[in-house]
A and B are shown apart, each in its own frame.
Chain A
Amino acid sequence: MSEEKQNQSEKSQWQPRIVAFLCNWCSYAGADLAGMSRRGYPAAIKVIRVPCSGKVDPMFVLKSFERGADMVLVSGCHPGDCHYTSGNYHARRKLLAFRELLDFFGIDQRRFKISWVSAAEGAKWSSLVKEITAEAQALGPFKTFATMLQGEPS
């Protein structure tokens, strides 16, 4: 096997690491439903449960990237359906503003995803994860912070 081909197969085998913050009531339940209804989705996604998407501090997102995440997803209830009435509205305003700041940190905005998945949308969750995993694979590994930590110019 030539070196080039091996590189290619390594690249296709490379699995991105996606950190997902899911609200307890909708998206986490939706992901649970996807599992219960035996819908497969890539294992690249690692789920952290939060009570509400409004509980996701921008610091959590930055911390995830710093620790080696290639993509971060925040998912909550559909606007209007928040279990806590308005938590996802707070999340939407806060995180959309925060996304604009990612360029400043040297993070590609496409690496930060926000979505709304309800507890009944197991199928949507499964297709969403497939979609963003493919996108993360296309974007390749996130190296900015790692190289900065090694003291090399990015």
Chain B
Amino acid sequence: MTEETIKLTIDNQEVEAEAGQTILDAAKTLGIEIPTLCYHPAVPSAGACRICVVEITAGARGALVPACAYPVQEGLGIQSNSERVRQSRKMTLQLLLARSPGAKIIREMAKEYGCEELRLERKDDDCIMCGLCVRVCQQIIGTAAVCFAGRGPDREVSTPYKLLSDVCIGCGACAFVCPTEAIDPAEFCSNPLEKIANEFNCGLDNRTPVHIPFPQAVPNKPVIDRENCIRFQTGGCGACQSVCPAEAIDYDMEDKTVQEDVGAIIVATGYKLFDTEVFEEYGYGRYPDVVTSLEFERMVSASGPTDGQLYRPSDGKEPKTIVFLQCIGSRREKGGVPYCSKICCMYTAKHTILYKHKVHDGQAFVFYMDVRSGGKNYEQFVRRVLTEKMATYLRGRVSKVFPRNGQLVVRGADTLSGGQVEITADMVVLAPAIQPSPGVQDLAQKLRIGYDQHGFLLEAHPKLRPVETNTAGVFLAGACHSPQDIPDCVAQASAAASKALGLVSHKQLTREPTIGVVNELSCNGCFECENVCAYGAIEHKELRDREGDLTATLAHINEGLCQGCGACAVTCRSKSIEVQGYRDDQMFAAINAISR
């Protein structure tokens, strides 16, 4: 396109626009607001709703024209908010209001223009016949599942023959652009989209296929969930690409395997929560008002699915009585995990405070085994919960949670008073045990690091080398090592980072001297050792005489690759490989000394 600029004036302000732009585009560069309904930047304009009319006062025949569709012309003079314009918009709004009194945006606009009083007979159809949905479906999605049908007063937006549409791909672009929220593809689509649970909010709300994974995501950019994206599933839609002003969406991008040479690896694979559904006595999964502590955390979060309002999942009421159950799966030899999950005592105490902040007249109960508040200021925190009556703590286990009259009855033991207690609660929050992330064992085997019977990764030494592993250059941080709270994780991550930097900041790498050495006088070059070396450390060394002729090919051990396991030394038939520090004469000396 040639760089042709056109000068015009809007509301007595001069503006330059490119040829092909509309008056609306030019007004936008000046920051002048022109109301629109049927306009969408991604869709070619139709000028259907007539709400964006402006008055031409110079340069062309004086007239009211739709700003969204009228191209800019040299020397044009525009008034965007003259009396004539306002009168015209008022009339349009009166007609729209008569047709669609239920549409929120129409009512708001009518209020703004002072024409809510209606002299016309009201109809009740939210659709204002602007046709934006029809244009989106035809021109952006390329499906044409909805179109105008009928004539005159019977004209309406519909599917062909008003039947359930199998052409509609259920993308919802029509509903997205509709200014009056009048269209819902679920009503006419024979294959409507399933709602996608928002993983970050524990499935408490839904998300779209294009989404930012969570508010603090790095990088904080949307991703496309291919499994649920219509573009990837049916080849249609493509709406996001057409509206993205940065043209950042590329459907042809593929996942890539990236190979990097690194000097250190830090494993920080985190944790997962124990599946509380296996404990049927607590009713998680059966009763909607039994939630896990992570779900509760999302519910009371200001950026959560309810914007920080605490509602019961079953009926949306405010829970006046809430019961927290600690150690769900933790410290349970049979059916659970034997270890303490460490963080649940503190976050449950925090949850009781959060609950009190949300529901001032509410009552919280906590069933606990022991309150383990080891850590700086932790005991004072729990003490505050107890003394300020944030919660009533009951020492004992819960045997059963069951519904009664729309509430949940929590039956358990109070071992301090020595009796059974029954609490009628609105909501029950379970604190599940912490387990290593699934698949961490596979990773550990690939990295050649150890893990315990629960799947937590093993440090090189519990006291002296807590973030290192037995494999040089691999470090641990966070809950992959053991259940940890945030201060512990941060401390361990900082330690692991320092250790990794310490390793790679030197010019030379220090290695253990206990590696294999080949005796070249006796090696006959059979390369049996090559078969057993897991590191590819055995190299072929060519011996040549003075004339440069090859006399022998012998084994040679690469000092950088050899880890000193000694498999080659045992395999060698001519006993030509010895591991330094574990030479045969040294081993026999040890055996002699010890067996006598």
Q: Which A residues fall within an 8 A CB radius of B?
A: 17, 19, 25-26, 29, 36, 46, 48, 50-52, 54-57, 59-60, 63-64, 67-69, 77, 80-87, 90, 94, 118-120
A17→B595 contact, CB < 8 A: yes
A86 and B565 alpha carbons, distance in the complex (Å): 10
Stretch of B179-187, B481-489, B579-587 at the chain-chain interface: B579-587
A51→B564 contact, CB < 8 A: yes
Which residue on A lies nearest to B515, using beta carbons? A51
Q: Chain B contacts of A48 at CB under 8 A?
A: 587, 590-591, 594
Stretch of B168-176, B386-394, B399-407, B447-455 at the chain-chain interface: B447-455
B445→A51 contact, CB < 8 A: no
Q: Chain A contacts of B564 at CB under 8 A?
A: 51
A84→B587 contact, CB < 8 A: no
A51→B596 contact, CB < 8 A: no
A54→B563 contact, CB < 8 A: no
Q: Besides A63-B595, A83-B470, A90-B567, 16 other CB < 8 A contacts?
A: A46-B594, A46-B595, A48-B594, A54-B565, A54-B567, A60-B587, A60-B591, A63-B592, A68-B595, A81-B445, A84-B567, A85-B534, A87-B566, A90-B532, A119-B458, A120-B452
Q: Which B residues fall within an 8 A CB radius of A?
A: 445, 448, 450, 452-453, 458, 462, 470-471, 514, 532, 534-535, 563-567, 569-571, 579, 582, 584, 587-588, 590-592, 594-596
Q: Chain A contacts of B535 at CB under 8 A?
A: 84
Q: Chain B contacts of A17 at CB under 8 A?
A: 595
Q: Chain A contacts of B458 at CB under 8 A?
A: 119-120
Instruction: Tell which of A52, A64, A120 touches B595, judged by Cβ atoms closer than 8 Å.
Output: A64
Which residue on A lies nearest to B512, using beta carbons? A51
A87→B592 contact, CB < 8 A: no
With A55-B570, A84-B534, A85-B448 as contacts: A63 and B591 at CB distance below 8 Å: yes
**Interface residues of chain A: helix, strand, loop or mixed (majority):** loop
A117 to chain B, nearest CB (A): 12
A90→B588 contact, CB < 8 A: no
B571→A90 contact, CB < 8 A: yes
B517 to chain A, nearest CB (A): 14
Q: Chain A contacts of B569 at CB under 8 A?
A: 55, 57
B565→A52 contact, CB < 8 A: yes
A68 and B565 alpha carbons, distance in the complex (Å): 27
15 contacts across the A-B interface (CB closer than 8 A): A25-B470, A50-B566, A51-B579, A52-B565, A52-B566, A55-B570, A57-B587, A63-B592, A68-B596, A80-B445, A83-B448, A84-B563, A84-B565, A119-B458, A119-B470
With A51-B579, A120-B450 as contacts: A67 and B565 at CB distance below 8 Å: no
With A50-B566, A90-B571, A120-B452 as contacts: A63 and B588 at CB distance below 8 Å: yes
A54 and B565 alpha carbons, distance in the complex (Å): 7
A19→B588 contact, CB < 8 A: no
With A17-B595, A52-B565 as contacts: A94 and B448 at CB distance below 8 Å: no
Interface centre among B450, B458, B471, B591 (most CB of A within 10 A): B591
B596→A83 contact, CB < 8 A: no
Q: Chain A contacts of B595 at CB under 8 A?
A: 17, 19, 46, 63-64, 67-69
Q: Chain A contacts of B592 at CB under 8 A?
A: 63, 67
B466 to chain A, nearest CB (A): 14
Which residue on A lies nearest to B534, using beta carbons? A85
B582→A55 contact, CB < 8 A: yes
A60 and B590 alpha carbons, distance in the complex (Å): 10
A117 and B584 alpha carbons, distance in the complex (Å): 25
B570→A19 contact, CB < 8 A: no
Q: Chain B contacts of A50 at CB under 8 A?
A: 566, 582, 587
